[in-house]
Amino acid sequence: MGQLDGRTAVVTGGSKGIGLATARRFAAEGAYVFITGRSKPELDAAVDSIGAATGIPGDVSDPADLDRLFEAVRQAGRTVDVLFANAGGGAIAALGTVTEQQIDYTLGLNVRGTLLTVQKALPLLNDGASVILTGSSAAVAGAEGLGVYAASKAAVRSLARTWANELRGRGIRVNTVAPGPIDTPGVETMAAETGQALHDLRAYQAGRIPLGRMGRADEVAGTVLFLASDASTFITGTEIYVDGGENQI
């Protein structure tokens, strides 16, 4: 018997990285999963690897795409037990060089996109549902070049606190998972944007971690599963770091 038998989960940004690892874990535990992604080929491949899943192409910063996502859930005759608002990203730029476009992109994706995702899911969320947001250890690390990204993830953490309070009457729990350096395709993107060799970037990231390595997407997925399951029914409004001790020791 799986921890999510008979439940319906929605995972944004579910075509790769942490989102894909989590969607696979949800399905393995008995859930039917709806995932989003901006790349149709990646999304199709992800659905094939998950099994019990439907892929809806879209960008969470576009309200029309979110409407299509939740309409697909509704048309399938389902309501939502677990919402993992995971899609995110952002530009890397220091204070002196960050552009208005980079600010708008990062805040639009991480803050506006997360807010609209949860807002548009509300009519379909079952009482007692679990909502999990993706934060980041960057929100407290003060890493150079990540000021806007870190601020956007701090905003996500703040939203989780407010929503946990606003939705308590329906028994809906809202929590945040804050990954540290995780070895996902995003690391390759960061290396390309910063001009670093991928090997050097991975070594630098691992050197900051007390456990001496970068994390894996499935390790974050395990924490998200915990927050989605009945094992965490007395946990809401909190943030769980999955950072190998980076910001804890």
Compute the distance between CA of residue 172 and CA of residue 124 in angstroms, rounded to an integer: 12
- Check: CB of residue 60 under 8 Å from CB of residue 106: no
Task: Return the pLDDT at 200.
Answer: 75
Compute the distance between CA of residue 207 and CA of residue 159 in angstroms, rounded to an integer: 31
Contacts of 45 by beta carbon, 8 Å cutoff, 6+ apart: 15
3-state SS string for 133-157: EECCCHHHHCCCCCHHHHHHHHHHH
Instruction: List, for residues 110-134, the tens digit of each pLDDT value.
Output: 999 999 999 999 999 999 999 999 9
Instruction: List, for residues 30-56, the tens digit of each pLDDT value.
Output: 999 999 999 999 999 999 999 999 999
- Check: CB of residue 3 under 8 Å from CB of residue 230: yes
Task: Return the pLDDT at 186.
Answer: 73
Residues annotated as part of the active site: 149
Q: Whole-model pTM?
A: 0.94
For residue 98, count CB atoms less than 10 angstroms from its CB and return exposed for 0-12, middle for 13-18, buried for 19 or more.
middle
